[in-house]
Every structure is written in structure tokens, then in C-alpha cells.
Amino acid sequence: MATTDEPADLDLARLDLARLDLARLDLSAQAALVASGELSALELVDAAIERAERVNPRVNAIIHPRYAAARAEAAAMTGSSAPYAGVPIVVKDLGCTIAGEPHHQGVRALKAIDYRAPTDSAIFRRLRSAGFVVIGRTNTPEWGCTITTEPLAYGPSRNPWNLDYSTGGSSGGSAAAVASGIVAAAHASDGGGSIRIPASECGLVGLKPSRGRVSKAPDVGESWMGSTTDGSVTRTVRDTAVMMDVLAGYETGDPYSAPPFARPLVDEVGADPGALRIGLLDHPVLGAVGHLECLTAVANTAALLESLGHRVELSWPEAIGDPSFAGHFRSIVATWTANDVDELAAILGRPVTDDDIEPDNAALVAIGRSVTGSQYVASMLEVHRWCRRVLSWWHPADDSAGFDLLLTPTIAVPPPPIGYLSEPGQGGRVFELLQYTAQFNVTGQPAISLPMHMSADGLPVGVQLVAAYGREDLLIRVAAQLESAAPWLGRVPSVYG
């Protein structure tokens, strides 16, 4: 494992471009190089593309390169006043559409016809307006329906820390691109843990924002009953805040809209969070067995938080362990996946066959087809009641003092080997690992995974912090505090070199 002492903030007067490894700079530092004239947008993008061409064959992160388009866009940015002019990023091949460009969503049938998106998403429009240059689209499992990135359409993305292991999913291609140093940040999305789990498995920061914080316009209002959202994976808390400031905001017709931040989220980096009351969940809640590395990560983080002046108590919202939760959530996801198949059939102009979708999704669709309209509504109403029970831990009905944050493992085990979760018929393994994340997609709360631990065999292990609805500001303050107390930026995988 290589290390670096290169800081995120640089004194440009002392900058030696011949020595500088651009891949180790965060978004703000890269943008500063362009703004100062030390480096052109094209040079910055060229450096990322050169790295992608060297590294991507090993990790299979980028599946749709757009190198020529990226170079042309960067070359046209001379004199741009955009805050991140020329900064290279990648976007996930799910949700962040670019008109006229591939959007295959991990689906073989869409790959076979080289399906192209009809519209620009609001996410891409916001990234472009901020000056970011997209150099490629990243790998994702079929429709983002699992927590490993091993689609039959494009093959597995590989963990830069050990190429035999999973990157997590469904934003695994984005996480592999950032962890391997191709880019500093990447678009990602999360329906049950799909930002936080890849962040945990690849040693990154991953924030799932509050419901309604990031728009899915123009083509989608919500999916999975409002459980899915978009965000990013990055190496630093500051970059996570930057990306959320860029992506957040209401778009006309959105069914939900989170309350605006009081100030830019990046201003919360370094802000004093005060002395907080933090609950600790140190074991799985849905019937699995906790892994020692994950429990150690949480215990060490709890001790660090206490040393920083916070009060950590063994407490959590007991409703998140309600055994009925998984069944209701599965029914909701299955019903939406059945609709995905109907939309695929409309695109193809023919019925969808078993050769078009993967076996586990075919089984999920069968469940979805069996759910009646009245059963779906019953599940929805039960989930709404369950959400109120969960959120009452943060906001007790009797006006007694609630908790500020909840600390948990991100996932129940360290990164599993490639094949462990993708083997047909092993969907139950997904739910064994998925103990701590999906609940907060359903409640709509913000949650962040931080790379606080490395396993004995050199694999990253993340911890999760969950805040009350709308309190991304509090998450960023505490995450930055932890980053300062136990820096992780110097840890990089060997594929990085």
C-alpha cells in the first residue's frame, strides 16, 4: 500500500507541476490550478484520461469512455468562470443521462441495441454548469438492484485494493474509478446502500442525501417509493460537500423537496459540531452475524468520537430491526423492477425474455408481478408507519431529548470476493450483508459512510453515521472532524501507483 503526504490544499506559488500527482488532489485543489492558470482545463482532463487508459483495464470502472468529447469540452473552457471548470469526473451509467449517449443501466438487452438516452438529466446539467468534464460512464449492476457490481452485460468491476474482491454496488464502477485515482469524485446513486456500500468497500466517503435533496428530473420523479437518490463517492469530506452543493436543488415537478441548506454545505467542513449525543449500534439487526473487522471499526470510531467530546451511548431505533421491514422493502423493489421490465419491453418493441435479464432480477420480477395493487398500498402504508417509529428515536413524541446521530457499521462484512453475491440464487446473501443501510433509504434520512478502518488483510471497512432528516450539515461537520482526527487520504491501494 502506498502513502502520500500531499495535502488537499496547495500553495500554488510553490507548485512543481513536474512532481505533482494530479490524481491526489481534491476537486477544489484541481479547480484552483485551472483558475490560477497553472494548468489548463485540457491538461487536467488529459491527465485523467491518461490515467484511465492505464488503470481502467485492471478495475473495469469506466464502461463508456467519452474521451474525445471530454477533450473537446475542456478545450472550450478557456476563460470559463465556472467554479470547477475543467475538473474531470465520471458518472454512473444509471440515472445521470446525457442526451444521445449510451445509457444501458447494466442491462444486456439495452447494450445489444446500444440504447441512447433521449434527454440530459438535471444531474448532468448541474455538473456541466459547474464546469465539470465527464470523461466516462461507470459500471453498475443491472438496474442497480444488488450490492455488488458484476453485471453480465459488462463484467465485474474490481476493487483497487484487491482485484479479486467486489467494489460493492450498485455504484461500484464509480467507486473503483475514484479509489484507483482516475478522478477525485464520481456521481453515484443509492436505493438501499448503493453509495455507502461501495464507499465502504473501496475506502471512500459516500453521502446518501435526504429524500428530495437531489432531483431525478426530467424523466423520473421517484423510484422504489422514494427510496432512491443520487450523490457521489469521493476521497475527502470536502469533496463530498462540494458535490452535494452542486447537485442539490429543486426542479419543477419534483414530488419531494428537502429543506435548503442554511449555507453551502462546504462551509460546514471545519465547523464546530458541538458536543453531540450519538447512539451506537454495534451488531446486526436483521438476523446476520457481525464480522469482527466491522465491529472493531465501529468500536474504534465510537472511542474516537468520545475523545472529541461527544457522548456515545449504546442505543438505536429498535424499529430498524423489525423483521417485517425486509419483506415490505423487497415487495416495493420487486414491483418497481417489474415496471422496469415493462419499460424495457417498450424500448425493445417486443416481450422481454429470460435471455434479456439476469436470473436474480427475473426472480425479483416474478415477485413483483404477484403483488396486487392493494397489497402494494398496504405495504406502503405499513412502511410509512414504520418510518415514524424509526424517526421518533431522533425526535421523541414526548419532547424528551432525542439523539443527534446514529453510528453503525456500513455493511455487515468486509468486501466479499467477486462471485459471492452474484452467483445465481444467492440473493439471500445480499440481505445478510444489507443490515444497516436500506432502512434509511426508506425513511429518507441522510447517512454517510467514512473509511475509518482497514482489515488485517488490507481491505477497507467503513462506518456509517445517520442524521435526522435534512441534517446533512451535521453529518459533514462530524465527518470532517473525524477526517481531521484520523486522516485517511494517505492510504491508497497499490493499483494507484
What does the CA dihedral 327, 330, 334, 337 come to, rounded to 10 degrees? 170
Residue 401 in contact with residue 296, Cβ under 8 Å? no
Q: How many helices (H) and strands (E) does the chain have?
A: 15, 11
Residue 276, C-beta contacts closer than 8 angstroms, at least 6 positions apart:
310, 311, 404, 405, 474, 478
Measured distance CA(231)–CA(472) in Å, rounded:
12
Residue 209 in contact with residue 446, Cβ under 8 Å? yes
Nearest CA among 153, 183, 151 for reference residue 167: 151
The SS3 assignment for 73 reads: helix
Measured distance CA(6)–CA(448) in Å, rounded:
25
Residue 346, C-beta contacts closer than 8 angstroms, at least 6 positions apart:
none
Residue 395: half-sphere exposure toward Cβ, Cα within 13 Å: 9
What are φ and ψ of residue 10, in 5° steps? -120, 145
Residue 449 in contact with residue 199, Cβ under 8 Å? yes
All three cell numbers of 93, joined, read: 451509467
Kindly list the catalytic residues: 92, 170, 194
